[in-house]
Amino acid sequence: MSFSVYEATIPTMIHFFEALSKILDKAVAQAKERDMPLSELLEARLAPDMHPFPRQIQIASDVAKLAAARLTGTEAPSFPDTETTFPELQERIRKTIDYIKSFPQEKFDGAEDRICVLKFPQGEMSFPGRVFVNNFVLPNFYFHVTTAYDLLRHKGIEIGKRDFLGRE
């Protein structure tokens, strides 16, 4: 049996969102223990031109839901990017997990060859599903989840590789 586009995306993204949710819980608990304002974490950036912490989670969410939709030839729901608190970010993660879990594996049959189109103000990009997953979806997803993790570490939250990998 071959490794499918579904297996490469949906279970992986669910796993890392669940790990990220636990990391957020740890961050809130540690910030409270240290009397650190949560705004310090929420406003965190590694460089002035980077998106702040909430935007990293919002983008990871968008990558996941749009990947599932494009790979199955469906429309993704729109989640407004209005999260400004940890409970709202947790809700965004939960909604994203629920949405991508709603796709049965067979909905991805043929997805490796389905053409996925990305539209940007400056034009379009088209990829067969396998290229879309390997060269766009997974790198973007991991980039933003990793950046969220790194921002918390940078602010002194005690989390490690096992937390990131979901292997506490």
Q: Is 97 exposed, middle or buried (0-12, 13-18, 19+ CB in 10 A)?
A: buried
Range of the domain at 111: 5-165
- pTM, rounded to two decimals: 0.95
| Structural domain total, the chain | 1
H-helix or E-strand containing 116?
Answer: strand 115-120
CATH number at residue 87: 1.20.120.450
The amino acid occupying position 62 is D
Q: What is the pLDDT of residues 97-137, one digit of tens each?
A: 999 999 999 999 999 999 999 888 999 999 999 999 999 99
pLDDT digits (tens, 9 = 90+) for 142-159: 999 999 999 999 999 999
